[in-house]
Structure 1
Amino acid sequence: MAWLAGLAFVMVYYPERVFLGGRTGIADRLAMGASVIAVFLIGLASLHLLERALTNATAAFFITLVMTTILNFAISRWILRRTW
C-alpha cells in the first residue's frame, strides 16, 4: 500500500513541482507512473543479478539504488520535458 501511495504521489506532484514547466497531462502522468514501475522491475532484476555476481548484498543494494535513482530521474524528465 505504501509503494502505491508513493507512486500516486509521484504522478500527482512531480510534474508540477519537480519538473517545473513540464507536461502535466494525464497521459504524461500515466507514462511517468508506468516508467517508475518499469524501473522498479529493472531494479529488482539487477539487484538479484548483482547479488549473485558480487556475492555482496550491501554493494549490490547500493549499486542498484544509484542506478535506479538516476534512471527514474532521467526517464521522468524525458517524459515530462519532451516537445512532441
Structure 2
Amino acid sequence: MANTAQARKRARQAVKLNAHNSSQRSALRTAIKTAQKAIAAGDKEAAASVFNNTVSVIDRIADKKRIHKNKAARHKSRLAAALKAMSAAA
C-alpha cells in the first residue's frame, strides 16, 4: 500500500483513470459489434449509417490514445471491407 500522501493520491487517480479508460474501450467494442451485426443483418442503408457512427467512435478513441492508431485503422478497414462485400453481393 502507498505510504506517502502523494502515493495515496496517485493510487486514487489511477483507479479513476482505469475506470474511465475501461469504459471507453468497452464503448469501442460495443460500437464495433453493433456495426458487425448491422452488416450481418443485410440492410445496406442502416449498416452504412452504423458504420459511420462506428468510425467516429474508433477515431475518437484512437485520438485519445486508448488504442493504437494502427489498430483503429485495422478495425475501420475490416468493417469497410465487410460493408463493401455486402453491397457487392446484393
Q: TM-score range by the shorter chain?
A: 0.3 to 0.5
Q: TM-score, normalised by structure 2?
A: 0.39
Q: TM-score, normalised by structure 1?
A: 0.41
